[in-house]
Structure 1
Amino acid sequence: MQVRYFVTVSRSEAEIAYSRLGVAFEDEGAPVAITEIDEAADRWEVAAYLDAGDEAEADTDRTEEFRNIAGLGPDAEIGREALPDQDWMAAVLAELKPVRAGRFVVHGAHDRDKIGAHELSIEIEAGLAFGTGHHGTTAGCLTMLDRVVRLRRPRSALDLGTGSAVLAIALAKLARVGVVATDVDPVAVAVAEANVGANGVSALVETARADGFAAVAIRRRAPYDLIVANILAGPLIALAPGFRRHATSRADVILSGILTGQAAAVRAAFRAQGFVHVDTLTLGAWVTLHLRRASA
Structure 2
Amino acid sequence: MPTFTALTTVADQSSAEGLGAAMESLVPEPTGVGVFELEDGSGLWEVGGYFVDPPDDSALMLLAAAFDAKPFSVSELPEKDWVAHVRRELSPVAAGRFFVYGSHDADKVPDGVEPLLIEAAMAFGTGHHGTTLGCLRALDRLAQAGFAGRRVADIGCGTAVLAMAAARIWPDTVLASDIDAVAVEVAATNVAANGLEGRVVCVEAEGFDAPELARAAPFDLVFANILKAPLIALAPDMAANLQPGGYAILSGILNDQADEVIAVYAAHGINLEHREQIVDWTTLTLRKTPA
Q: TM-score, normalised by structure 1?
A: 0.74
1:222 aligned to 2:220?
A: no
AA aligned to 1:98 is P
Which residues of 2 match residues 26-175 of structure 1 at below 5 A?
A: 28=34, 53-57=51-55, 82-84=77-79, 88=82, 90-95=83-88, 96-127=90-121, 130-151=124-145, 152-175=147-170
Q: Decide whether the 8 Å contact of 2:86 with 2:121 is kept in 1.
A: no
AA aligned to 1:137 is T
Structure 2 gap segments, 5+ residues each: 6-31, 37-47, 59-74
Decide whether aligned partners of structure 1 residues 294 and 117 sit closer, same or farther in structure 2, where only a CA change above 3 A counts: same
- The 3-state SS of whatever aligns with 2:51 is coil
Decide whether aligned partners of structure 1 residues 101 and 269 sit closer, same or farther in structure 2, where only a CA change above 3 A counts: same
Distance 1:106 1:27 in 2: 30
Distance 2:141 2:34 in 1: 34
AA aligned to 1:194 is T
Q: Decide whether the 8 Å contact of 2:33 with 2:49 is kept in 1.
A: no
Q: Decide whether the 8 Å contact of 2:4 with 2:52 is kept in 1.
A: no
AA aligned to 1:291 is L
- The 3-state SS of whatever aligns with 1:137 is helix
Choose 184-193 or 111-120, whichever is displaced more: 111-120
Distance 2:254 2:119 in 1: 26
User: For residue 189 of structure 1, what is the aligned residue in structure 2?
Assistant: 184
AA aligned to 1:93 is V
Decide whether aligned partners of structure 1 residues 177 and 168 sit closer, same or farther in structure 2, where only a CA change above 3 A counts: same
Instruction: Work out the number of aligned pairs and report it.
Output: 237
1:239 deviation in Å? Answer: 0.8
1:127 deviation in Å? Answer: 4.4
| Deviations, residues 57-107 of structure 1 (Å, cap 9, x unaligned) | 4999xxxxxxxxxxxxxxxxxxx77422x652x234312101111111111
Distance 2:195 2:87 in 1: 22
- The 3-state SS of whatever aligns with 1:213 is coil
1:2 deviation in Å? Answer: 2.8
Decide whether aligned partners of structure 1 residues 291 and 52 sit closer, same or farther in structure 2, where only a CA change above 3 A counts: closer
Distance 2:271 2:144 in 1: 19
Q: Decide whether the 8 Å contact of 1:129 with 1:188 is kept in 2.
A: no
When the two chains are superposed, the root-mean-square deviation of aligned CA atoms in Å is: 2.7
User: For residue 71 of structure 1, what is the aligned residue in structure 2?
Assistant: none
Q: Decide whether the 8 Å contact of 1:2 with 1:51 is kept in 2.
A: no
Q: Decide whether the 8 Å contact of 1:249 with 1:294 is kept in 2.
A: yes
Distance 2:77 2:198 in 1: 44
Give 4+ residue runs of structure 1 displaced > 3 Å after superposition.
26-30, 55-60, 126-130
1:27 deviation in Å? Answer: 6.8
Give the fraction of aligned pairs with identical amino acids, expressed as a percent: 43
Structure number with greater Rg is: 2
1:295 aligned to 2:264?
A: no
Q: Decide whether the 8 Å contact of 2:164 with 2:200 is kept in 1.
A: yes
Distance 1:144 1:210 in 2: 24
Distance 1:27 1:177 in 2: 39
Structure 1 gap segments, 5+ residues each: 5-25, 31-49, 61-79
Distance 2:144 2:94 in 1: 17
1:190 deviation in Å? Answer: 0.4
Q: TM-score, normalised by structure 2?
A: 0.75
